[in-house]
Amino acid sequence: MSMLESVTRGFTDHFNRLPDVISKAPGRVNLIGEHTDYNDGFVLPAAIDFFTLVAVSARDDNLIEVVALDYAEQDDRFWVDESYRDHPTQMWSNYVRAVVRTLVDRGHQLKGCNLVVSGNVPQGAGLSSSASLEVAIAQAVLTVADIQLPFTELALIGQAAENNYVGCACGIMDQLVSAGGKQGHALLIDCRSLKTTPILMPPELSIVIINSGVKRGLVDSEYNLRREQCAEAAKFFNQTALREVTKEDFFAAADQLSDVVRKRAQHVIEENERTLKAAEALATNNVAFLSQLMAESHISMRDLFQITTPEIDLLVAALDKELGNEGGVRMTGGGFGGCIVALMPKQKLSIVAPILADYQLKTGLIAIPFICTPEQGASLVSLEG
């Protein structure tokens, strides 16, 4: 049974009717540009073929009733206009409550609705299952209220829900590419202006995501600490964000920063430059240069931003050795575990299995590969599929 069939049947089983519509939003992988988004910088993600689906129908009252098929059919109920509060036991409920509350905060006149949620974005892997859920929920409840918003606004709603209610000071990248991705393309995002530029992915390159098996979580002190350190560096340079600090200005005064803040700032400033170069390399199919930029990005995340793990470093090094300049590989996501991403020629895909077998022998961890395609952002799905 497909996920679409499953969520439709789940909705019918719970609410004795077909849904009005099904909202769909993808996860994402970031090809390059890590921890630059909340510094008003540049990122180069792609929406991927893992999704959250939300089946929805309008109600005659102001109650929101939501069922999560993937959590043993746990459910939640709350009123559209009630104050936000955390669910005592269900973390997933907090994202739904936060999105609805954020929409109300912004003046949208919502209706009560029934929702059934299911998804296949791997959780805790850095592929933005939370952003996918936020965007899909926002689109679903807006649709039954007959409200249409541009994808940038959907993204901002998801980000605000996470920042203001769930407790993670995430940037805009995850929600923006989930809402506005373009099939067959990566998306160069200017995180200040929210301008997006589709970058065609060379068809001969595969996106290979490998879940390292090292669990991670973004609502942690380490992620928010990195954000605080970047803000401290920007303040030192009398700027609102590190986006404004040039390499020349940085290196002229870097010795006046503490060692840790200097490292964080250097990573962000150089990563912004790498991301713009990587977008150009991808657009011109300059795979050798892209390989170099992805390698530099990983080293910077390891040594300057200090967000990789020994297992991640081992996996990246093994793939990098086999790919050479025919593809690129780096850690992706917020850090401290999760996934790596590789861009590699289709004829090189056979290198993955032996590398993962050796990785399991050395670490005891089972790494799971996913060969992904760049997908469209948020959309509405007909019940006919």
Residue closest to 297 by CA, chosen among 283, 285, 279: 279
Q: How far apart are CA 342 and CA 112, in angstroms?
A: 43
Q: How far apart are CA 381 and CA 24, in angstroms?
A: 7
Q: How far apart are CA 57 and CA 141, in angstroms?
A: 9
Q: Residue 177: what residue type? A: V
Q: How far apart are CA 217 and CA 130, in angstroms?
A: 11
Pick the catalytic residue from 174, 220, 249, 313. 174
Q: How far apart are CA 191 and CA 152, in angstroms?
A: 11
Give the largest Cα separation in the chain, rounded: 67
Are 70 and 44 spatial neighbours (Cβ–Cβ below 8 Å)? no
Q: Which segments within the chain are labelled E, that is strand?
A: 21-32, 42-58, 63-68, 74-79, 113-119, 185-190, 196-200, 205-211, 328-332, 339-345, 368-372, 379-381
CA atoms in the 13 A half-sphere facing the CB of 37: 25
209 strand-pairing partners: 341, 370
CA-derived radius of gyration, the chain = 21
Active site residue 255: no
Relative to beta strand 185-190, strand 113-119 is unpaired
Are 340 and 312 spatial neighbours (Cβ–Cβ below 8 Å)? yes
Are 381 and 239 spatial neighbours (Cβ–Cβ below 8 Å)? no
Helix (H, G, I), strand (E, B) or coil at 208: strand
Catalytic residues: 174
